[in-house]
């Protein structure tokens, strides 16, 4: 079982505007979850209206269509029961939980604006994350994305050569926490970090409130009205979790921390390993991520990464974003001091993929292992301005 999410959700620097923005965002996410049933039912209603607009003889050719829509509504009701459980436990997530209350959402004087399609897409994606991270159906994706990272951690820090509990591993962009959980389950001290409240709410629920294997059922694909080979695929159930998170060994050290990676992690030379999966392209400025990873790693520490470069803020209005090709990213990584130990430039993987859909996206990911050198000549020079000029070198 994960330790409670420990990072304070409300800024403690006296910035009341910042605090109000945090509260508004919290309430907005709660509101989005609570709007799920209404939003998805509206889509079903549009489908029903379209059906009734067909000529009568065409309707007669589709005797199972309206019953199918009713089955979708039943699935929506079931998903919403899961959502209510997720929301129910959000009040106790943070250390300063008295500052937040999902029950106060409707009564807040700063109630957020009506939820948008963007917000509802986040809710839908979060439900699909249960498939990827915590169901047997998602095992193939996990093996492709998490497997190489876990194997590399074990290779660099083998249990027969070190006390794994003394090895600290950070997983930024932890999502629903499965990668961090698996690392902790191997005996390493592991902390997951996540910025999205959607993901944090769901990860807290699955890690701390699921009593046994396959306790819950979701219907994650009901919003997908296109590319179904079988109509029944749309209402296909998925059970979770495929393992019992509560059975994590009592000696395991596992925690989740909420907040922005660049703001939360500033302590120099703190971590033995930083493991990133589908993370670095979530940055406004990927160079800042690289720089910070180098900073927080101990000398000799490893950065293990697998993922694409689907820059999340690309073309979003009013959002700063710098989009770089991998060749440039790689050069910056070495310029900042890392040494490449292993690199696989073509690793196929998928992300929350519906295995029964007629439309599938596959990423051609990059997998690499970098090390922060134990000694950096030019770093020593920078810390000693009176040192005589020396010939620079590139790692």
Question: Dihedrals φ, ψ of 157, to 5°?
Answer: -130, 70
Proportion of the chain above pLDDT 70, given as a percent = 85
- CB neighbourhood size of 186 (10 A): 18
Q: How many structural domains are present in the chain?
A: 1
Q: What is the CATH number of the domain that holds 37?
A: 3.40.50.150
Beta strands in the chain (DSSP E): 168-172, 189-194, 216-218, 238-240, 254-258, 271-277, 297-307, 339-349, 363-371
pLDDT score of 8 more than 80: no
Question: Dihedrals φ, ψ of 271, to 5°?
Answer: -115, 145
The answer as to whether 11 is a domain residue is no
Higher confidence at residue 335 or residue 104?
335
Identify the pLDDT of residue 310: 97
DSSP character at residue 303:
E
The answer as to whether 388 is a domain residue is no
Identify the pLDDT of residue 375: 74
The answer as to whether 1 is a domain residue is no
The answer as to whether 29 is a domain residue is yes
Q: Where are the alpha helices (DSSP H) in 209-285?
A: 261-264
pLDDT score of 147 more than 50: yes
DSSP 127-175: HHHHHHHHSGGGHHHHHHHTHHHHHHHHHHS-TTTS-GGG-EEEEES-T
Domain residues for the domain of 169 are 16-383
Identify the pLDDT of residue 115: 80
- CB neighbourhood size of 332 (10 A): 15
Question: Dihedrals φ, ψ of 390, to 5°?
Answer: -130, 160
Tens of pLDDT, residue by residue over 105-143, are 444 444 456 788 989 999 999 999 999 999 999 999 999
Beta bridge partners of 276: 305
Tens of pLDDT, residue by residue over 38-89, are 999 999 999 999 999 999 999 999 999 999 999 999 999 999 999 999 999 8
Question: Dihedrals φ, ψ of 69, to 5°?
Answer: -65, -35
The answer as to whether 10 is a domain residue is no
Tens of pLDDT, residue by residue over 276-304, are 999 999 999 999 999 999 999 999 999 99
Alpha carbons 276 and 283: distance in angstroms, whole number:
12
The answer as to whether 393 is a domain residue is no
pTM, 2 dp: 0.89
Residues in the chain: 395
The answer as to whether 8 is a domain residue is no
The answer as to whether 395 is a domain residue is no
Identify the pLDDT of residue 17: 73
pLDDT score of 11 more than 80: no
Query: CA of 105: how far to CAs of 5, 23, 204, 329, 334, in Å?
Result: 21, 10, 19, 42, 47
């Amino acid at each position: 079982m994960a330790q409670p999410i420990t990072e304070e959700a409300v800024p403690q620097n006296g910035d009341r505007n910042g605090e109000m923005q945090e509260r508004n965002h919290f309430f907005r996410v709660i509101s989005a979850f609570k709007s799920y049933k209404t939003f998805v039912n509206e889509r079903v209603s549009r489908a029903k209206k379209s059906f009734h607009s067909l000529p009568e003889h065409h309707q007669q050719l589709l005797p199972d269509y309206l019953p199918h829509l009713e089955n979708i509504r039943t699935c929506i009701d079931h998903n919403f029961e899961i959502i209510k459980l997720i929301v129910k436990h959000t009040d106790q997530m943070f250390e300063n939980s008295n500052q937040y209350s999902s029950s106060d959402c409707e009564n807040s004087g700063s109630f957020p604006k009506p939820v948008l399609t963007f917000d509802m897409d986040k809710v839908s994606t979060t439900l699909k994350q249960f498939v990827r991270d915590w169901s047997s159906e998602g095992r193939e994706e996990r093996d492709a994305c998490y497997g190489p990272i876990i194997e590399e951690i074990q290779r660099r820090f083998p249990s027969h050569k070190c006390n794994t509990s003394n090895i600290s591993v950070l997983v930024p962009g932890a999502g629903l926490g499965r990668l961090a959980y698996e690392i902790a389950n191997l005996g390493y001290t592991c902390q997951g970090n996540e910025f999205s409240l959607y993901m944090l709410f769901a990860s807290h629920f699955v890690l701390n409130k699921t009593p046994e294997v396959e306790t819950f059922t979701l219907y994650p694909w009901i919003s997908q009205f296109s590319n179904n080979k079988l109509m029944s695929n749309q209402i296909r159930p998925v059970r979770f979790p495929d393992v019992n998170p509560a059975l994590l060994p009592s000696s395991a050290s596992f925690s989740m921390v909420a907040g922005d990676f660049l703001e939360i992690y500033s302590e120099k030379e703190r971590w033995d390993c930083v493991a990133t999966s589908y993370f670095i392209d979530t940055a406004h400025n990927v160079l800042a991520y690289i720089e910070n990873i180098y900073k927080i790693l101990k000398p000799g520490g490893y950065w293990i990464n697998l993922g694409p470069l689907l820059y999340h803020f690309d073309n979003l209005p009013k959002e700063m974003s710098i989009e770089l090709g991998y060749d440039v990213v790689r050069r910056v990584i070495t310029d900042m001091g890392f040494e490449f130990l292993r690199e696989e430039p073509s690793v196929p993987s998928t992300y929350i993929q519906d295995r029964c859909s007629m439309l599938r996206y596959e990423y051609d990911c990059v997998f690499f292992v970098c090390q922060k050198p134990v000694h950096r000549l030019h770093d020593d020079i920078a810390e000693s301005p009176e040192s005589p000029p020396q010939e620079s070198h590139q790692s």
